[in-house]
Amino acid sequence: MDFGLLLQQTINALTIGAIYALIALGYTMVYGIIELINFAHGDVFMTGSFVTMWLLTTLGFQGTIKDPLTLAGVLALAFLVAMTVMGAVGVIIERFAYRPLRNAPRLAPLITAIGVSFILQNIVQSIWGPSPVSVPQIIDVQASFRVGGTPIRFLSIFIIVLAIALMVALQLFVGRTRLGRAMRSTAIDREAAQLMGVDINTTIALTFFIGSALAGAAGVVQGLYLGNTVFTAGFQAGLKAFTAAVLGGIGNTTGAALGGFVIGFIEVGSTYLGYTRWSEAVVFTILILVLVFRPTGLLGQQLAERA
Amino acid sequence: MSEAAALPAPEPALDPALTVGPAPATAGRPLLRLSDVHVYYGHIHALQGISLEVHPGEIVTLLGANGAGKTTTLKAISGLHHPRQGSIELDGQEITRVPAHALVRRGIGHAPEGRRIFGRMTVLENLQMGAYTRSDRAAVDADYERVFTLFPRLQERRSQLAGSLSGGEQQMLAIGRALMTQPKLLLLDEPSMGLAPILVEQIFQIIHDINRQGTTILLVEQNALMALGVARRGYILQTGQIVLADESAALAQNDEVRKAYLGG
């Protein structure tokens, strides 16, 4: 394979991987703190893409915005609105669907999560219909620059840089701030965290807000990248992001980001090799293999606790 | 807080002269008062009408066999498991239904059974969690110094993951973390559990020092001999009820206590 092609495919993989990684973070954060596989999370992402579509069309945009200043402003607004709205949706879901079941057997919130998934799909479907709708691609999809003769799209670079920036911000928040410590301590030992003065309800709500906001950001990115969305978009992307989270080691945010990019490479790789139709089979085969042979994922938990 | 630096290093053995407390404070308002507290776990009636008092400046110990309700009593006080009936007062104020996280600000520090340190966080981060509710930077910094003076090992290992500490160090961290909450009342649940005898003596010396620095302590222990040595008064719990309450010296002389908890 020549260098140009390799570069192009790598950029593609990173772009798709960035979207999976952003969604995977929400799965892994929620699992880390309340040990729930939030199956509604993919649909939070999907709803985020519809919120973006709604916002941009309501503002009257149909296609590429040429003026860079306007573009930057509209992009900032889109991310702000989608992330805030989806963050709030995440908090509401936790408050009314999961919190009442916090001490119930684990199967109960899991089934509830599947229920919430259907509720979100049905709400979106009833508002915007069952067919794919187009999302205004305000960043020019064709705009590119050349690296050694290979065209690289600005849109891809924007998505990769944005996703990495969000991930770095998340790591710094969780790793370095007081609220981040509250989240980690709640994840490790809820009761002990309370004894430190941590209000675990607020902390869990905050975790849902951040995870869902990241899914909202992924929703914006998805709209800009594909130019359309559909009410079932959350199911498959959600499953793949979940696979990414498991692959990286569920509960581990670095692992989720890594897993997302790995899935991106697997998907692009199998497409390149001519097995486009098999890419999902490959991804889920990997999920099964990981679950069987390395359930703690690539990175797993950093350290087992001593008795 | 600065007086901590002037304290002597913990001695290997407990000085008997230090363990005789002043006369019991029967008068005055208790710092903690439990009145007829009943706690249930589902259908299990774990605490069946516990009443006890802890006065400012005291060390009071709660003794009893496994399953007698010692840990449950501490959990009721720190708000982790609310009583179904009865009342708990801190400094004259009703706290029976106050959630655990809010009680930290009110002055209850709890080093729970089994240490429960945050293993995947560093020693320093664990201590920072202790100071979670506090914004008085200068006083917090002074308290880090105090904890590091009491437990020099923690300072050496401040950037290590807490899960990699030895059992004794983890216990020190659990106590240090609870001290960082700046408690008026410190609840200690089996601080000597699983520790080598030399460490047990060290921990008890530190409990004594903490108390002398002005922190009131309610101590739950299996090691009745050591607990009665350091405490001024004690309560004996049996299947969710208090069966005996007296000065430590009197409890140590009591035949039944000797037979049940002191090995003859």
What residues in A contact B133, CB-CB < 8 Å? 196-197
Quick: pLDDT tens for B85-132: 999 999 999 999 999 999 999 999 999 999 999 999 999 999 999 999
* B197 at A interface, C-beta within 8 A: no
Tokens representing residue A221 in the block = 């990115």
Predicted pLDDT of residue B26 = 54
- Alpha helices for A227-274 (secondary structure H): 233-248, 253-272
**How many angstroms separate the CA atoms of B138 and A115, rounded?**
50
ipTM at complex level: 0.89
A279 vs B11 pLDDT, higher one: A279
Tokens representing residue B117 in the block = 């340190």
Helix axes A200-226, A154-176, angle to 10 degrees: 170
- A188 vs B105, B118, B164: nearest CB: B118
**How many angstroms separate the CA atoms of A186 and A208, rounded?**
13
Predicted pLDDT of residue B200 = 95
- B161 vs A194, A199, A303: nearest CB: A303
| Residue B9, strand partner residues | none
- A303 vs B102, B109, B163: nearest CB: B163
Report the C-alpha dihedral over residues B42, B235, B97, B82, rounded to 10 degrees: -10
In the block, residue with structure tokens 């692009």: A268
What residues in A contact B170, CB-CB < 8 Å? 306
**How many angstroms separate the CA atoms of A238 and B72, rounded?**
43
* B133 at A interface, C-beta within 8 A: yes
In the block, residue with structure tokens 């101590």: B219
* B110 at A interface, C-beta within 8 A: yes
Predicted pLDDT of residue A286 = 87
User: CA B37: distance to chain centroid?
Assistant: 19
Tell me the residue length of chain B: 264
Longest dimension (CA), chain B: 51
What residues in B contact A191, CB-CB < 8 Å? 80, 100, 112, 116
- B118 vs A185, A194, A306: nearest CB: A185
Quick: pLDDT tens for B143-158: 999 999 999 999 999 9
Chain A residue with minimum CA distance to B174: A192
**Whether pLDDT at B15 is above 90:** no
> Would you place residue B169 in the very low, low, confident or very high pLDDT band (cuts 50, 70, 90)?
very high
DSSP B91: T
**Which residue, B70, B105, B51, is CA-closest to B187?**
B70
* B98 at A interface, C-beta within 8 A: no
Report the DSSP pairing between strands B32-41 and B85-90: antiparallel
| Residue B53, strand partner residues | B33
What residues in A contact B78, CB-CB < 8 Å? 195
Taking the CA of residue B162 and the nearest CA in chain A, the distance in Å comes to: 9
User: What residues have CB less than 8 Å from A195, skipping those under 6 apart?
Assistant: B78, B80, B100, B104, B109, B110, B112, B116, B178
**Whether pLDDT at B51 is above 80:** yes
> Would you place residue B21 in the very low, low, confident or very high pLDDT band (cuts 50, 70, 90)?
very low
Interface with B, mutate which of A196, A203, A252, A299 (most B CBs under 10 A): A196
What residues in A contact B104, CB-CB < 8 Å? 195-197
**How many angstroms separate the CA atoms of B242 and B36, rounded?**
10
- A195 vs B110, B125, B165: nearest CB: B110
Taking the CA of residue A197 and the nearest CA in chain B, the distance in Å comes to: 4
| B132/A197 CB distance under 8 A | yes
* Domains, chain B, ordered by start: 31-114+185-261 (3.40.50.300)
Instruction: Return the domain boundaries, chain A.
Output: 15-136+144-234
Predicted pLDDT of residue A301 = 57
**How many angstroms separate the CA atoms of A272 and B119, rounded?**
44
Residue B19 contacts residue B225 (beta carbons within 8 Å): no
User: What residues have CB less than 8 Å from A119, skipping those under 6 apart?
Assistant: A40
Taking the CA of residue A254 and the nearest CA in chain B, the distance in Å comes to: 15
Quick: pLDDT tens for A39-65: 999 999 999 999 999 999 999 998 899
Report the DSSP pairing between strands B59-64 and B216-221: parallel
**Which residue, B222, B215, B217, is CA-closest to B233?**
B217
User: What residues have CB less than 8 Å from B159, skipping those under 6 apart?
Assistant: B122, B123, B124
* A146 at B interface, C-beta within 8 A: no
- A305 vs B102, B104, B119: nearest CB: B119
* B130 at A interface, C-beta within 8 A: yes
Chain B residue with minimum CA distance to A191: B80
**b/e for A194-230, b at 16 or more Cβ within 10 A?**
bbbbbbbeebbbbbbbbbbbbbbbbbbbbbbbbeebb
**Which residue, B222, B2, B134, B207, is CA-closest to A198?**
B134
Q: How many Cβ contacts (< 8 angstroms) between chains A and B?
A: 85
* A2 at B interface, C-beta within 8 A: no
Quick: pLDDT tens for B196-211: 999 999 999 999 999 9
What residues in B contact A182, CB-CB < 8 Å? 129, 132
Read off the pLDDT of each residue in B53-65 and give the average, rounded to a whole number: 96
* A292 at B interface, C-beta within 8 A: no
> Would you place residue B25 in the very low, low, confident or very high pLDDT band (cuts 50, 70, 90)?
very low
E strands in chain B: 32-41, 44-54, 59-64, 85-90, 93-94, 108-111, 185-189, 216-221, 233-238, 241-247
pLDDT in tens, chain A (307 residues): 688 899 999 999 999 999 999 999 999 999 999 999 999 999 999 999 999 999 999 999 988 999 999 999 999 999 999 999 999 999 999 999 999 999 999 999 999 999 999 999 999 999 999 999 999 999 999 999 998 889 999 999 999 999 999 999 999 999 999 999 999 999 999 999 999 999 999 999 999 999 999 999 999 999 999 999 999 999 999 999 999 999 999 989 999 999 999 999 999 998 889 888 888 888 889 889 988 998 888 887 543 333 3
**Whether pLDDT at B256 is above 90:** no
